[in-house]
Amino acid sequence: MAINSVRRIKTRIKKAIILAGGQSTALAPMTDYCPTWMFPILNKPLIEYTIDLLKKNGIEEIIVATSEEKILSDSFKQKTFPGVTIRYHIEDKPRGTAGILKDLEKFFDKEPFLVMNGNLFVGDLDFANFLKSHQETASMVTVGIYKDATPKRIEENIALTRNRMIEKFHLIHSSMDRRSPWRFFGIYLFEPLVFRFINNKNYMDIKEQLIPSLQETGIPISAYEIKGFHMNINSINDYINIHRSLLLKGRHEDFSDKKEIVPNVWAGNNVKISPAAYLLGPILIGDGSNIKHGAQIIGPSVIGNNCSISEGVIVRECILWDRISLLNNSRIEYSIIGEQSTIPENYHVKDMIVLNGSKIKDALLVPSDNNLKSILLPAINTKYFYKAVKRVMDVSLSIIGLILLLPIFFMIAIAIKLDSSGPIFYVQKRCGLGGKFFNMFKFRTMVANAEKLHKELTSKKDCDGPMFKLSNDPRVTRLGRILRKTSLDEIPQLLNVLKGEMSLVGPRPLIMDEMKFSQSWRDTRLKAKPGITGLWQIQGRSKASFHDWIRYDVYYVRNHTLWLDIKILLKTVKVVLKKVGAY
C-alpha cells in the first residue's frame, strides 16, 4: 500500500517517547550497574536533560519506555517535572524500537509525535524547525541526522538525495565500502499513519526494518540535520568526552544550579572545602561533598554528590559518581569512579573504571576493550579461569566426540553422495566472536542450488524474526530431513570447535544479514564465542519465538558460567533425543 501524501495541519509537537531500553555492551561494564539513560552527566541523570529539552520545546506528555522496571521503581519514578506529564511503559518482552511504538499507539492522536533514543545528549535542538522541515517535505517520517567529519569504512550511514530525502540506508557489513558522512542521530518525527506499517506481534526496529519497508512502498522519508551541541553516548569515550566538552566549553546553562565559588569551579549546596585544598578548574562539585586539607583536584573533573575526599588526595581529570570515599593520600587520575566506591589510603588509580562499591585491595584488575586500561570489579574476576577451563572442555569433548562419531561421519558422507548431487559439506561464512567471519561446516541437507531458491521462499517463512525458518522447506533432501531431525548435520562443527572458531556452548553463529536488523542484540551476542548448542536450542529451537531467542542470547552472554554450560550440554542431549523443535 502506497500513501502519496500525509495530511498537514498547523500544529506543534506535544507528545514524545524516550526509548530507554536496549542491550548495549559498548558501555559495559558500567551498564551492568546502571542503564545508560541514568548515567550521571554533571551530577544529573542523562534522561533529565532530555526531559528538560522536551519541556522547553513545548512537549506536554512523555512516555519513558524501558525494560528497567526495578530502577524506575527505586529512584527515578518518584521524581516530578512540573509542566510535563511523565508516563512509563515497561517492556515485558523484546519488541524492537518500532514494536514499542505499536504497543503505545493508543497514546497518540492525529498529530505528529517525537521519538528519541535514551542515550542522547542534545543541548539546544530547535523542534520548531524540525517540525517545519517535516511538513515542508510532506514526509511520514523525518529522521534526525548528523555529519561525521571522519567517516569510517565499516559504519552504518545514510545516502541522501539533493533535497535531503533519504535515498538509502547502509547497514554495517564488512563487505560494504560506503563513505557517506551522514549518520542516524536517534531522533525521529512520525506521522500517526506509520502505525499501519508496524506489525502487532513481530519484533521490528525503526531504522533497520521500518524505514526500509516504508521506502520500498514509495513513502517519503526525509532527513533533518541536527546542529548545535549534541552527542550520542555509545561508548566509554563518548561518556568521558561529553563531560570534557561541557566543562571546557563553559556551557554554564548545563550546571546553572551550582554556584561558581572561584573561577571555573562550581559547587552545589552544603559543600565543604578546606582553605588548604587546591582546585584548578574546570571542576563541578556535587551537593554535600567534603574536600579536606591538602587535597588537590585538577580539572576537567566532576565530583559527585556526598563524596568525601580526604587529606592529601590528588584527583586529576576524573568523573566521580555519588557517595565516593577517597582515603588519605590516594591518587586518582583519568578514571571513572562508580557510586559508593572506596579508594584505600596511599593507593594510585590511573586509567581505570572502578565500579559498584569496590575496594581496590579486594579486587583483580582485568583488561578492558575501552581506552581506559583496566576495570575494577567488586570481587575477584573469574573471566580467565572460565575461558581456560571452557577451552579445555571444548577441545577434549570435541576430540572424544569425533573419535566416537567417526564411523557415523563416514556413513553420512556416503549417504549424502548417494541421495543427491552436490558436495558432502555445506560451508557458509558466519559471524564469530567480535563479528569476525569464519567458515562454518555442516553436512549438506539441501539441494545444490538452495541459495538461489532462497528469495522465492522468503515470504513463506514461519518464524517471527529476521531469521529464515520453514518447516516444510522444499529445498531439503530426503536424507537432509533425517539429519536435521536428529541434529546429525551439526557434527562437522566439532571441527570448528577444535579450530577455536566456535565453542560447544554459546549463541548460534548467524550470517550478518540475519542480525543486522537488531543492532543491540547483535552487538551483545557477538561478545561471546558462538556455540553448537545454547539456551535457545534447549528451549525448543525453532518453536521458540524471536523475542525469546533475544532473551536467551542476552542472558547467556551476561551470565555464562561453567555450570550453566554443563547444564546446557546435558539438556541438549535430551532435546536432541526428543527431536524438540528440529526441522
Q: Where are the domains of the chain?
A: 15-232, 236-376, 384-578
* Cell 562499591 found at: 357
> 3-class DSSP state for residue 185?
strand
Using DSSP's 3-state secondary structure scheme, residue 370 falls into coil
Class of 15-232 per CATH? alpha beta
Residues 290 and 270: their CA atoms lie apart, in Å, by: 9
pLDDT of residue 57: 87
Using DSSP, state whether 237 is helix, strand or coil: helix
236-376 maps to which CATH number? Answer: 2.160.10.10
* Edge-to-edge strands, sheet with 314-316: 278-280, 296-298, 314-316, 331-333, 348-350
Which residues are within 8 A (CB) of 63 and not within 5 positions of it... i.e. 6 or more apart?
15, 16, 17, 18, 87, 88, 89, 104, 107
Query: Phi/psi at 316 (nearest 5 deg)?
Result: -125, 115
Amino acid symbol at 546:
F
Residue in 99, 187, 103, 96 with CA at minimum distance from that of residue 87: 103
Strands of the sheet containing 336-337, edge to edge, are 259-262, 265-267, 283-285, 301-303, 319-320, 336-337, 352-354, 374-376, 365-367
Spatial distance between the Cα atoms of 471 and 533, rounded to a whole number of angstroms: 20
DSSP H stretches of helix in 126-203: 127-136
**Amino acid in position 249:** K
DSSP structure class, residue 168: E
Residues whose CB is less than 8 angstroms from the CB of residue 388 and which lie 6 or more positions away in sequence, other chains included: none
The pLDDT score that the predictor gives to residue 151 is 55
**Cβ contact 92:66 at 8 Å:** no
Query: Across the strands, what pairs with 19?
Result: 65, 117
Euclidean distance between the first and final Cα of the chain, in Å?
34
Task: Look up residue 167 and give its amino acid.
Answer: E
What does the alpha-carbon distance between residue 131 and residue 138 come to, in Å, rounded to a whole number? Answer: 11
Comparing CA positions, the residue from 306, 343, 342 lying closest to residue 323 is: 306
State the pLDDT at residue 367: 35
Per-residue pLDDT of the chain (583 residues; tens, 9 = 90+): 444 444 444 567 889 999 987 555 567 677 777 788 888 999 888 998 899 889 888 899 999 988 766 565 556 667 788 889 998 888 777 778 888 899 898 888 888 899 999 889 887 777 888 888 888 888 899 998 888 766 554 456 666 666 666 666 555 544 444 567 778 888 999 999 999 898 887 778 888 788 888 888 888 888 888 887 888 888 888 898 899 888 887 666 667 778 889 888 999 999 999 999 999 989 999 999 999 999 999 989 999 999 999 999 999 999 999 999 999 999 999 999 988 889 999 988 888 888 776 665 544 333 344 455 555 655 444 567 888 899 999 999 999 999 999 999 999 999 998 988 889 998 989 988 888 889 999 999 888 776 666 566 555 555 555 555 656 777 888 888 888 888 889 999 999 999 999 999 999 888 877 776 666 677 778 888 999 998 888 876 555 566 677 778 878 887 888 888 998 998 888 888 776 555 4
Phi, psi values for residue 560, rounded to 5°: -65, 135
CA pair distance 13, 498, nearest whole angstrom:
57
pTM > 0.75: yes or no: no
Q: Could you give the CA distance from residue 483 to residue 488 in angstroms, rounded to a whole number?
A: 5
HSE of 88 in the Cβ direction (CA atoms, 13 Å)?
A: 16
- Given a contact cutoff of 8 angstroms between Cβ atoms, the answer to whether 159 and 180 are in contact is yes
| Residues 40 and 338: beta-carbon distance below 8 Å | no
- Looking at residue 207, what is its pLDDT? 81
Length of the chain: 583
Query: What angle, rounded to 10 degrees, do the helices at 562-578 and 383-419 form?
Result: 20
List the grid coordinates of 25. 555492551
DSSP assignment letter at 359: B
Q: Is 5 exposed, middle or buried (0-12, 13-18, 19+ CB in 10 A)?
A: exposed
Q: How many CB atoms lie within 10 A of CB 269?
A: 11
Strand, helix or coil for residue 393: helix
DSSP-assigned states of every residue in 93-115: S--HHHHHHHHTGGG--SS-EEE
456 Cβ neighbours under 8 A, 6+ residues apart: none
> Which residues contact residue 126 at a Cβ distance below 8 angstroms, ignoring those fewer than 6 apart?
57
Q: Name the residue among 200, 184, 78 with its Cα closest to residue 141.
A: 184
Give the pairing of strands 120-122 and 141-147: unpaired
Residue listed under C-alpha cell 548448542? 533
To which H or E segment does residue 517 belong?
A: none
